[in-house]
Structure 1
Amino acid sequence: MKLNQVFIGISLGFIGLSNAAYAEGNNNKGTSIEIISINGTYFNDYQVEDASGAMRSNVSLLETAQSVTVIPETIIDEQLATTLGEVLNNDASLSPGSKQRNREVFSARGFQLSSSTGYLRDGHQHWSHYQQPIETLSRVEVIKGPSSILYGQSAPGGLINMVTKQPSASPLLELSADTDQNGSTRFMLDAGGEITTDTNYRAVVVKQDVNFARNYHNGETRTRDRFLGSLVVEHQLSDSLVINGYYDRTNDKAGLDTGAWLDSKGDVISENNTINDFSWAFTDITVENLGAKLTYFINPLWEVKVGYNQQQFNRQRFESSPKIPSDYQSGDSYISKPYDRSDDWQFKTAFIDLNGELTIAGIEHKLLFGANSLDYYYGQLKTNGAAINYTPGDIEPLKPAISFTTDTSLSTSQYDYYGLYFQDLMTLNQYWQVAIGGRYDKQNKEGANNESLLPKIAVLYHPSDHSTLYANYSEGFEPQRSETIENEQDKNFGMRIDATTSKQIEIGAKWELSERLLLNSAIFTIEKSGTLISEQLLDDPNYESITTQSGRQIHKGIEMSAQGAITDRWFAITSVMYLDASYKEDQTYEGNTPADAPKWSASLWSRYELTEKLALNAGIFYQGERYADNANTVTKDGYSRVDLGATYQAAIAGKKVAFRLNIENVLDTNYLAGGGINNVTIGEGSTARFEVKTSF
């Protein structure tokens, strides 16, 4: 279904987040409560007051000397999001990369986030080499800039912290079903409540089947089959001791689409809706997360948290692996190099945190002392098949009779690291605060041992109770996977590689307008040294790629954002970023801009409540002109995508029922999203989705 002529009314503006009320407490005095009566439908569910990941505790955003965006569950639900990428579109500092092989890649402030170090789940380092189960999330926190002092290895652009839904004593039962014009379906159950007097739970079950718009050469539709089951149980052992345990499992099987190919002008070669992979190519993953957290309240001011998570990730990937020849034209033949591969990742993380407050010589201190660790293992089996020469229009070749089980040489990689860290947020008076922190980090890996000592310092000035000016300096550290390039098919095989380091200076301002709208602005400079860059070699008879270290990258930028309520009926989250990113002191890419790093990007999502039962949504997502490669030889045009939505609340048989209709890309704009010359993602055309949700 194409929606080419649709009347759109969208209102733009700065929006943000607001606090509905303020309360002050004192351990030695009673608490006074101000009661505010509100007429109408106003409820600021776009509002977020803190970010647990930024300071590793629930510190107010106005006391956080760092740019942070928090995307709440309300927005995730309104957008009918099914992937993390659809959620992260709401922050302009994040740009999409490749979506090949049923996973998503992102960059923060122009730096690509690593699958192993760029993502957190409830503060645990999280292996994210798959599409995240966002139905289990209560919100997503985008933490900008280096955060290595609290979490260890991480990219300089920032971290994504996924905060999961937690048990509550109140009964909860929600059932929902959604579908789209391609016949995709998703059914979800979200339940919670009390098991016993001191034990509560939260359970989420999802079954999803996806039909994609792009088809294979033989006309078959690419599909995806996903199941998710999640359970969280919390038990209060005593007034001061709480234990929280959880388990979730994801099964996700999908046909492969490694992306479209671009010519030298940035145009797609062949048909937009045709997949270069063969229909028998697939990826099949199973992911399990098992963990627990123990919280002990020593007294009203001090607490200890101990957490452990074990993640098991198993994947089979049967590839057709098409290769784009140089000077390829539509209809030309190309080579596919099929293989069957099995991957086994095991991630074990643990942490212990001591949080507390004390006053010394009239200075208030919010203190954090902690340690965290990671134990990483990876094993791979792989069997290659004979190369296939294929010409579009011919009959698709049969699936090769190969299996990874015939590989007798298990390839493995493993390492562990631990870090010790501290942080002190000092309140000097009602106007001034100073935050200092540091971390010692040690990685143990054969041929790649690394250690680092990182500082962080920030100064905050509060001209009023609802505004903050801040400046911070922080550093990051990313040990490389080895001391040398290990891939024998790389032209620089055996080249020695150094650790990657980064440092950032950020100056920003936060202003809580009318107690319900939080405005943010930040100016930053990030310098990263030692970046590894791999480029595919076309038509090279001996090597598949060439990997180099870029020397330095310098990214400078300005961000502005707002989130919350504009009026009692109008809510929005919006952001814009200008980025000047370039390689320095690099023999290959001197002066170039990294791929998928636009100078300008912006996002807006809003809701307007017409009545207590009917609300309208509108959004605009903009990515400016970007390069498709680090050599800056191919350019992708900028684009703006417009989305519309509406929700109607009703009561049927005494139960609350919500009906939602969303139309993504309502103008049917043709655009290229993330990815490079040989794996670019073609933006979806106009897509309508409909959901029914009921609460018991």
Structure 2
Amino acid sequence: MRFKFSCVGMAVVAAISSMPLAAEQVPEDIERISVTGRSFNDYKTGVASGAMRGDINLMDTPQSVTVIPDFVTDEQLATNLAEVLVNDSSVTSGSEKWNRQVFNIRGFELDSGSGYLINGQQQWSHYVQPIETLQQVEVLKGPSSMLYGQSGPGGLINMVTKKPTYDTLFNLGFDTDDNGSTRFQLDAGGSLNEAQTIRYRTVLVKQDTQYWREYQNGENQERDRWLGYLNLEFDITDDLLLSLKYDRTQDKTGIDRGGWLNSKGELIGGRDIIWDMPWAFTDNTIENLGAELTYFISDNWKVKAGYNDQQFNRQRLDSLPSLIKGSEDPFTDGYTVSPFDRYDDWQHKTGFIDITGNFSTGFLEHQFLIGANMLDYYYGQLREKGTSVSVMPGQPIANPGLDYHNDTSLSESDYKHYGFYIQDLVTINEQWKLLAGVRYDEQKKDGAGNNSYAVSPKFGVIYSPMDNGSIYVNYSKSFSPQGSVNDPNDVNDKMNLDPEYGEQYEIGTKWELFDGGLLLTGAVFDITVSNVTVTQDLGAGESITTQSGEQHHKGFEMGAQGRLSDKWFMTGSMMYLDAEYDRPAEDSLNGKTPIDAPEWSANIWTRYEMTEALALNFGAVYVGERFADKENMITKDGYVRFDLGAAYTMDVMGTDVSVRVNMKNLFDKEYLAGGSNTDVTVGEGRHVSLALEAKF
């Protein structure tokens, strides 16, 4: 790939790289911990529960992990998962059409069914995940099949929800922006009895979003979302804890599939235009009902079991606009609208049981885990298609009045997945630790040849030359079943596909400075995936899906997170990525780079406390040049986006009230975000948000 590195982009990377040097120059001051202000824990979290399926310190985790706490994303006034994950440069965004978000980790796209976890359990994530219920987001990088079974080679996103509190918590929030969007939030918790053995946490959200892009009749895309979340904890005995969780999301929005790019990578029709019809929409209803039971056998051993039932229903009335084949000028040649009404029913049931314990054998100390988990997946679809018509831009097309109930042919699929795993983190002495684990997976699906089996090992070694630093190496594998080709226009329709297998070698280092206030990380990785599934367009409405060759991604990443001084905090990262397909020489994709896999990416977000009441923020995001098509003929330019923010906190009649103003894309940079040449997300221009929060 030809790489274009702007001077500003280089400045962002240089700023991140120089943080350790700047940090070293800050004198040690043991009195720092008594200074009034934010603690380093607001920006730095020492534990990622999903990385080892337990509360093991990041320094003892031989894996690259980024933890993004809610304090940081609240500062940024994030409203969706994409705005959270921008804090880790190893994660890049893909398409955002149909009111869902696609992400890549280390250049590999995350699967909706196996790439996302909530509290360590896989969730069907074919929608915009609510973030108001989250305490932190963990980016687990590299293959994680040893602990979670079927998953991709790039990594996983684990979303950790807010927990009940012993003390009374009652926060009210409101935010708005220059488009007229509004969001109301309630976050409350506390004990329900005097003994504090019954506790709760609840979150309520009402959001009305006005998007900046316009349909061709002058209307803006809108979104209406409700969210309710309740988590109850019961101390049944001193040793037995029961947790019950329920959440419901109702999310309806108009459709904006994104922009079209011509062969030169230029946006067709400008930044503002939406090619979908204003009557097109998606309406999602998602419910999660879960329970966890934790039994403390002794001070060193516990058993934890959990179950979650996710019901996801969606209606999608789509106008499905597309360019006329061979045309790049819809204003002259028109374009095609192919409406359909579709109903989707996803049911995602998960369960697990983990036994964890600490024990010694001679001079060796063990942090031991043995467990099993399962997934029961069902999908059903009804769909009624309308008649395709050619239209000119601005030409009104009436709602075709389709109704998916008219389709009597129900399309269904289901499978069951089981896994058993064992892991041991062995402490040999103060300098050396050894991690070893293995998992057996079995996926059962109706039909001959559809069952899949896999054994996924993981090994790691940690060397700690000093108390505040570690160097590690690891080896891990991923396992991702592919099912069969299900497309009547595909040459290989109904062909059973083999699982994709990933293999990673990683070496990294982690250091804590300033009394543990600042965490510095670095990692070099090499990932190879075999049996890569690729679908190519053959023209004339036909395609072909094949599995051959490999996909090879290698690179390095750096990160810094925490406190630089009593008043200065930061989080930032950068990544270099070399990604390409390694396929037979005659294959057109051989040597090509996957879509949305930039060679360089970086980000930084800082907080400086001017006074105890006033804090200023500065941030920057750099994403390098990327390809927008599999054949690497169309590129999207790299860009740098700068953000600013300020917050003021005051006491109003005994209540802490904070006011925050953020400006995103300070210099109104025009840029293209994730997505291919047919569904690219267009970056928003300068954008101002205002938020109020009261803590009672």
TM-score, normalisation: structure 2: 0.94
How far did residue 504 of structure 1 move? 0.2
Counterpart pick for 2:466 among 464, 480, 490? 464
The residue number in structure 2 matching 1:450 is: 452
Question: Structure 2 vs 1, CA of residues 689 and 42 (structure 1 numbering), >3 Å: closer, same or farther?
Answer: closer
How far did residue 607 of structure 1 move? 0.5
1:477 maps to a residue whose letter is: F
Q: Distance in 1 between matches of 2:593 and 2:108?
A: 11
Cα deviation digits, residues 230-285 of structure 1 (max 9, x gap)? 00000000110000001000000000001100001110011210101000000000
The residue number in structure 2 matching 1:277 is: 276
How far did residue 367 of structure 1 move? 0.2
The answer (yes or no) to whether the contact 1:263–1:327 under 8 Å persists in 2 is no
Counterpart pick for 1:66 among 63, 66, 71? 63
The residue number in structure 2 matching 1:258 is: 257
2:523 maps to a residue whose letter is: A
Counterpart pick for 1:565 among 559, 563, 566? 563
Cα deviation digits, residues 508-552 of structure 1 (max 9, x gap)? 0111112211110000000001222234566x2x43x44333520
- Matched residue SS, 1:402: coil
How far did residue 454 of structure 1 move? 1.2
Q: Distance in 2 between matches of 1:110 and 1:269?
A: 26
* 1:291 aligns to 2:293 (yes or no): no
Q: Distance in 2 between matches of 1:239 and 1:434?
A: 33
Q: Distance in 2 between matches of 1:388 and 1:575?
A: 47
The residue number in structure 2 matching 1:187 is: 184
The answer (yes or no) to whether the contact 2:323–2:330 under 8 Å persists in 1 is no
2:434 maps to a residue whose letter is: V
How far did residue 203 of structure 1 move? 0.3
Cα deviation digits, residues 582-623 of structure 1 (max 9, x gap)? 000242300000010000000111101000000011110111
The residue number in structure 2 matching 1:30 is: none
The residue number in structure 2 matching 1:27 is: none
Q: Distance in 1 between matches of 2:230 and 2:70?
A: 18
Q: Distance in 2 between matches of 1:59 and 1:73?
A: 20
- Matched residue SS, 2:235: strand
* 1:623 aligns to 2:623 (yes or no): yes
Cα deviation digits, residues 429-466 of structure 1 (max 9, x gap)? 00000000000000001231001111111111000111
The residue number in structure 1 matching 2:340 is: 339
Q: Distance in 1 between matches of 2:537 and 2:654?
A: 60
- Matched residue SS, 1:101: helix
Extract unaligned runs of 5+ from structure 2. Answer: 1-10, 24-29
The answer (yes or no) to whether the contact 2:483–2:498 under 8 Å persists in 1 is no
Q: Distance in 1 between matches of 2:493 and 2:63?
A: 39
The answer (yes or no) to whether the contact 1:347–1:375 under 8 Å persists in 2 is yes
Question: Structure 2 vs 1, CA of residues 537 and 188 (structure 1 numbering), >3 Å: closer, same or farther?
Answer: farther
Following superposition of structure 1 onto structure 2, how do residues 367-386 of structure 1 map, counting pairs within 5 Å? 367-386=368-387
The residue number in structure 2 matching 1:89 is: 86
The answer (yes or no) to whether the contact 1:643–1:662 under 8 Å persists in 2 is yes
- Matched residue SS, 1:368: strand
Cα deviation digits, residues 61-86 of structure 1 (max 9, x gap)? 00000000000010110011110000
How far did residue 426 of structure 1 move? 0.2
The residue number in structure 1 matching 2:105 is: 108
Q: Distance in 2 between matches of 1:531 and 1:117?
A: 17
The residue number in structure 1 matching 2:3 is: none
- Matched residue SS, 1:372: strand
The residue number in structure 2 matching 1:306 is: 305
Question: Structure 2 vs 1, CA of residues 330 and 388 (structure 1 numbering), >3 Å: closer, same or farther?
Answer: closer
Percent of aligned positions that are identical: 51
Cα deviation digits, residues 29-70 of structure 1 (max 9, x gap)? xxxxx9985124242111211110000001010000000000
2:482 maps to a residue whose letter is: Q
Q: Which has the higher contact order (CA 8 A, sep 6+)?
A: 1
Q: Distance in 1 between matches of 2:443 and 2:687?
A: 46
Q: Distance in 2 between matches of 1:103 and 1:537?
A: 27
Q: Which stretch of the first structure deviates more once superposed, 580-589 or 162-171?
A: 580-589
The residue number in structure 2 matching 1:24 is: none
Q: Distance in 1 between matches of 2:33 and 2:560?
A: 25
Following superposition of structure 1 onto structure 2, how do residues 495-644 of structure 1 map, counting pairs within 5 Å? 495-514=495-514, 515-535=516-536, 540=540, 542-543=541-542, 545-586=543-584, 587-644=587-644
The answer (yes or no) to whether the contact 1:373–1:419 under 8 Å persists in 2 is yes
How far did residue 497 of structure 1 move? 2.3
Q: Distance in 2 between matches of 1:342 and 1:480?
A: 23
1:548 maps to a residue whose letter is: T
Q: Distance in 2 between matches of 1:42 and 1:249?
A: 33
The residue number in structure 1 matching 2:173 is: 176
The answer (yes or no) to whether the contact 2:330–2:392 under 8 Å persists in 1 is no
The residue number in structure 2 matching 1:400 is: 400
Q: Distance in 1 between matches of 2:167 and 2:409?
A: 53
The answer (yes or no) to whether the contact 2:265–2:634 under 8 Å persists in 1 is yes
Q: Which stretch of the first structure deviates more once superposed, 267-276 or 669-678?
A: 267-276
The residue number in structure 1 matching 2:660 is: 660
The answer (yes or no) to whether the contact 1:607–1:618 under 8 Å persists in 2 is yes
How far did residue 677 of structure 1 move? 0.9
- Matched residue SS, 1:134: coil
The answer (yes or no) to whether the contact 1:550–1:589 under 8 Å persists in 2 is no
The answer (yes or no) to whether the contact 2:16–2:573 under 8 Å persists in 1 is no
Q: How many residues align?
A: 666
1:310 maps to a residue whose letter is: D
Q: Distance in 2 between matches of 1:550 and 1:668?
A: 44
The residue number in structure 2 matching 1:12 is: 15
Q: Distance in 2 between matches of 1:252 and 1:429?
A: 53
The residue number in structure 2 matching 1:121 is: 118
1:507 maps to a residue whose letter is: I
The residue number in structure 2 matching 1:79 is: 76
The answer (yes or no) to whether the contact 2:35–2:566 under 8 Å persists in 1 is no
2:375 maps to a residue whose letter is: L
The residue number in structure 1 matching 2:224 is: 225
Q: Distance in 2 between matches of 1:112 and 1:155?
A: 8
Counterpart pick for 1:43 among 39, 42, 54? 39
1:314 maps to a residue whose letter is: N
Question: Structure 2 vs 1, CA of residues 642 and 301 (structure 1 numbering), >3 Å: closer, same or farther?
Answer: same
Q: Distance in 2 between matches of 1:256 and 1:644?
A: 30
Cα deviation digits, residues 440-499 of structure 1 (max 9, x gap)? 0000012310011111111110001110000000011111123xx121122332444221
Question: Structure 2 vs 1, CA of residues 537 and 200 (structure 1 numbering), >3 Å: closer, same or farther?
Answer: farther
* 1:352 aligns to 2:348 (yes or no): no
Q: Distance in 1 between matches of 2:438 and 2:215?
A: 52
The residue number in structure 2 matching 1:133 is: 130
1:72 maps to a residue whose letter is: P
Q: Distance in 2 between matches of 1:83 and 1:267?
A: 27
The answer (yes or no) to whether the contact 1:301–1:356 under 8 Å persists in 2 is yes
